[in-house]
Amino acid sequence: MITNKISDQPLQKIALSCSGGGYRAASFHLGSMSYLNRHIYNGKPLLENVKLISTVSGGTITGVVYALHKQKGKSFRDIYHFLLDQLHTLDLVKGGIEKLNPGALWNNTHKHKNLINAFAEQYDDAFTKGATIADLDGLNSHLEAVVFNSTEFNNAIDFRFKNMGTGYSGNYYIPVGQDIAAEIKLSDVMASSACFPGGFEPLLWPDDFVHEQAPHISELKKNSKAPVGIMDGGIYDNQGIESILNYKSKNEIPYFDLIIISDVASPYMEPYKPFVETKKKGFNTLTLKEVKKKAETISKGISMGLLVCIALFALLPAIWQYPNNIGTGLSLGIAGVLLLLLIAKMMAVGAIKKKIAQMLHALEKKIPSFYFKKLSKLKIEELSVHRAQPLIMDRLNSLVTLLMDVFLKVVRRLNYYKLYNNNNFKYRRISNLIKELTEMDFNANVLRRQQDQAAAGKTPDFSIFNGTYNEVVGTAIKGVAESASSFGTTLWFTDDDKLSDMLDQLIATGQFTMCYNLIEYLEKLIYDKDSGYDGLDQQKKDNLQKLYSDCKEDWKQFKDDPMFMVKELG
């Protein structure tokens, strides 16, 4: 059944997805949620009409904290300031690396001692205080369900952590029953969802999820044949869209009146740049065989030098006929230390050669014999460094670009298509994108907005979208939006970021971008002749019109001072 009309209960059941993107995502989504909380719609804050939150990676930090604290009866203002303080002060990378030092406190000895588990311990200390999925049992807030998304490496699909009572966690191939899920720490959920490739190693399910109060997970570990690698949800779906579309998907009419996709991922990527060849002189003229030979010569020279020094210090006391004094002891002691150094050096070189041989052998086994036979025709050792560099670096660069950029952009588009190519959601979707109020994105979308207005059949008495970029957005918003959207995917704020109030700028960008998108959405509902707005009763029309009017007033304030809401919240 196709129903491309407005819901007959507009904005009463909202789904919110929070994309990945480190602290940039966590902060932007907090700002977006604070704007939804600002407006009273039909007697309560619009945020309290959000029934499902689906989060990924950095968005899971905000999603977990919000769901957990709402479960405890906290106000939005309390949650906002708690999360704001943690984001401002907690440098996860610094703390995680310090935890890996010998003798550093490691709270959960069941976990492998690695960086992602060090992060999980910090999440537990700072954000969740030992809470588990059981603490989300029987959600008593406005939320019906929460889904925190990660990716598993056995079947290359989503691995979901859900609140109790909404079906099993995991996925079809690796279902996680509710008795087991109840024991999963929310800090491990956050770590799994934000475990991005390259920066971290995978969490292992169920091994790294065992803790002192987890008898069912511990038993599962004993009976498991091999652990499963769990990593960042963004590998599979960086917006968490699929988890929303799957919720009560058997309904003929979409369950949600509105789906909001809050997204800090950029649709753009840097052009591929080939390796810039160095000049063929000096070291770069050497062949790999010559480099290897020089390394061996240096190694032998070091060994010979050590042998000479050993002999010198061992024979030096002979001049004095080895008297029993401090000079003899010191000389023989130095000779002994140098001998140990020589032995250690020889053992290290031997171990390195053995390891390299093992790695090459393992690599050889993974290369199909057909290709290996072809590659064997290339006389690699005869290549100069000048020629070998581009052969190696261009492949590495293209592989990194493929894994970290091309692949993620393709996945992003595919998941957006699931929502935007489905006519059922024509009047039930908003994309809230961190970059859309930058000058480049705004101008790129001018034609789309003009086409939408032309197709609407009605013209708003006043629309904030009529005009040039400077007229619509203005220089004040531009400065904040450009700064926030250029912030990298990190899990910390540097001293320079704090001096420039980057956290506040990210939150403000979430606020005014959500305001902008609500206005655009409401105009589409109210003025599009096919939306079904005319069929609503007068009270519902009045509610939508009031929200539209309030958002336009906010937009005027944002144009004057993009930080006004941040200041109001304190």
Q: Which residue has the higher pLDDT, 313 or 425?
A: 425
Q: Which residues pair with 429 in a beta bridge?
A: 259
Q: What is the C-alpha separation between 237 and 148, in angstroms, rounded? A: 11
Q: Which two tokens stand for residue 74?
A: 């906290």
Q: For the packed helices 538-560 and 474-485, what is the interaxial angle rounded to 10 degrees?
A: 90
Q: Which residue has the higher pLDDT, 517 or 330?
A: 517
Helix or strand run (H / E) with residue 230: strand 228-232
DSSP state letter for 387: H
Q: Which residue has the higher pLDDT, 3 or 392?
A: 392
Q: What is the C-alpha separation between 21 and 26, in angstroms, rounded? A: 8
117-131, 295-309, 417-431: range with lowest mean pLDDT: 295-309
What per-residue confidence (pLDDT) applies to 454?
Answer: 64
The listed range with the strongest mean pLDDT (99-108, 335-344, 522-531, 559-568) is 559-568
Q: Which residue has the higher pLDDT, 535 or 461?
A: 535
Scanning 183-270, the segments in alpha helix (DSSP H) are 186-193, 215-223, 234-237, 241-246
Instruction: Give residue 1's pLDDT band: very low, low, confident or very high (50, 70, 90).
Output: very low
Is residue 389 predicted with pLDDT exceeding 90?
no
What per-residue confidence (pLDDT) applies to 462?
Answer: 57
Q: Which residue has the higher pLDDT, 275 or 13?
A: 13
What per-residue confidence (pLDDT) applies to 364?
Answer: 66
Is residue 566 predicted with pLDDT exceeding 80?
yes
Scanning 239-315, the segments in alpha helix (DSSP H) are 241-246, 288-315
Q: Which two tokens stand for residue 284?
A: 């770069």
pLDDT in tens, 261-296: 999 987 776 777 777 766 667 666 767 677 677 778
Residue type, 257: D
Instruction: Give residue 513's pLDDT band: very low, low, confident or very high (50, 70, 90).
Output: very high
- Residues 121/45, Cβ–Cβ less than 8 Å: no
Burial of 16 (0-12, 13-18, 19+ CB in 10 A): buried
φ, ψ of residue 55 to 5 degrees: the values are -130, 160
54-63, 453-462, 523-532: range with lowest mean pLDDT: 453-462
Residue type, 245: L
Q: What is the C-alpha separation between 7 and 10, in angstroms, rounded? A: 5
What per-residue confidence (pLDDT) applies to 272?
Answer: 73
Question: How high is the mean pLDDT of the chain?
Answer: 86
What per-residue confidence (pLDDT) applies to 504?
Answer: 94
Q: Which residue has the higher pLDDT, 274 or 202?
A: 202
Mean pLDDT of 553-566: 96
Q: Which residue has the higher pLDDT, 362 or 74?
A: 74
Angle at 417 between CA 530 and CA 197, to 5 degrees: 150
Instruction: Give residue 338's pLDDT band: very low, low, confident or very high (50, 70, 90).
Output: confident
Instruction: Give residue 398's pLDDT band: very low, low, confident or very high (50, 70, 90).
Output: confident
What per-residue confidence (pLDDT) applies to 372?
Answer: 59
Mean pLDDT of 127-146: 93
Mean pLDDT of 203-210: 96
Is residue 133 predicted with pLDDT exceeding 90?
yes
Q: Which residue has the higher pLDDT, 302 or 393?
A: 302
- Residues 124/178, Cβ–Cβ less than 8 Å: no
What per-residue confidence (pLDDT) applies to 47?
Answer: 97
